[in-house]
Amino acid sequence: MSNSSVPSTSAADGDLVLRFWGVRGSTPVSGPQYAEFGGSTPCIEVDCGGRIFVVDAGTGIYNFGQNHRTDLPREIDLLFSHLHLDHTAGLPFFKPAVLDGERTINTWCGNLGGASAGPTLDRLFAPPLFPVTLDAFPCTFRHHGFEAGQTLVFGDGARVDTIPLNHPQGSVGYRFEHGGRRLCLISDIEHSDPWPDPDLARFVADSDLMVYDGMFTDGEYPTCRGWGHSTWQKGVELAKLAGVKALAIFHLHPAHSDAVLRDIEADLRAEMPTAFIARERQSIVVGARRRAMRRAGLRQAAAGEMRRRIRVA
């Protein structure tokens, strides 16, 4: 596996950090042909200087839980983009958090007109579809509903902006801001015609990183119209119009093997050099490239100033 071209960066205290625990759309896949990009369905960890959010509970949430066996807070905020199975099926396997009687998991759902995820999850996780209901777990679940478009304000003062997305039964996009950095998660979404949508372009404007549903290529899209997903080319169009600095293509098609995705990534990079395809377990310090470039620029400026001083002397 070669991740040398992927902007994984090491975090410092106070950074805005994203980590992909599941990047595959629709259904999990496994096998040697998925070793590089991964097969787990959506789960993203967002760390705002130590304040953690989890976005979606696809099958990737299992590995998120395993990676944080001892260091998660007593209360965990789990933000749902929406409740389709690929974004919810991992929830009972969020161990050891769900097995901890001292733990509260707050779920946040914004695509059901203000209703919480509670009744839907109680239908999904119940016999005969699942052996027990969620209230059988030792942890406490608290289900919160909101309307996409509202700003979420949490008890500790953390704020997260939201926007409704075009998807069957709706979906929610999220915007995190921390330490002068901006991160937008825009999945699941089907692009509109005309595109880009002006409200969405305003929402993601000047993001340091946008994660975007690029399940299809423009060539594949015509036979998948109305399925609720977009293309990497539409992601690039939106990113360029809105001044987005870097773009991660996400919600990868189950049929797209590593070889296919590497070819797509080459085409993607030719259009937007700071764009890449998300890889499972990849961690990104949002804005780090820009910071590194600025530091290099400052070093160059300082060196230039020194040379000028030496010449003057």
Give the residues lining the site for Zn ion (CB under 5 A): 25, 84, 86, 188
Q: What radius of gyration, in Å, describes the C-alpha atoms of the chain?
A: 20
Bridge partners (DSSP) listed for residue 175? 161, 184
Measured from the CB atom, the residue of 86 and 280 that comes closer to Zn ion is 86
Q: Please name the residue that has the structure tokens 């949490």.
A: 154
Q: What are the structure tokens assigned to 109, written together? A: 């759902």
Instruction: Write down the least CB distance from residue 160 to Zn ion, Å.
Output: 20
CB of 107 to Zn ion, least distance (A): 16
Q: Residue 24 gets which letter from DSSP?
A: B
Which residue has its beta carbon closest to Zn ion? Answer: 84
Q: Judged by CB, which is closer to Zn ion: 84, or 256?
A: 84
* Residue number with CB closer to Zn ion (151 or 169): 169
Minimum distance, C-beta of residue 84 to Zn ion, in the bound complex (Å): 3
H-assigned helices in the chain: 61-67, 85-88, 118-124, 198-204, 232-242, 258-271, 288-312
Between 42 and 65, CB nearer to Zn ion: 42
DSSP summary character for residue 132: S
Whether the Cβ atoms of residue 251 and residue 280 lie closer than 8 Å to each other: no
Q: Which is nearer to Zn ion, 93 or 154 (CB)?
A: 93
Q: Smallest distance from the beta carbon of 308 to Zn ion, in angstroms? A: 56
Q: Which is nearer to Zn ion, 25 or 173 (CB)?
A: 25
Name the minimum Å distance from CB 26 to Zn ion: 6
Amino acid at 88: T
**Residues 106-123, buried b or exposed e (16+ Cβ, 10 A)?**
bbbbbbbeeebbbebbee
Judge whether 74 and 94 are in contact, CB under 8 Å. no
Beta-bridge partner residues of 178: 181
Task: Please list the residues that pair with 19 across neighbouring strands.
Answer: 45, 283
Query: Six-digit token pair at 255?
Result: 């049929």
Beta strands (DSSP E) in 84-168 are: 104-109, 140-145, 151-153, 159-165
Nearer to Zn ion among residue 182 and residue 279 (C-beta): 279
For 35, other C-beta atoms within 10 Å of its C-beta total 13
CB of 248 to Zn ion, least distance (A): 16
Closer of 137 and 174 to Zn ion (Cβ): 174
CB of 228 to Zn ion, least distance (A): 6
The Cα–Cα gap between 58 and 24 comes to: 9
Provide the minimum distance between the beta carbon of 85 and Zn ion in the complex, in angstroms, as a whole number: 8
CA distance 59 to 116: 21
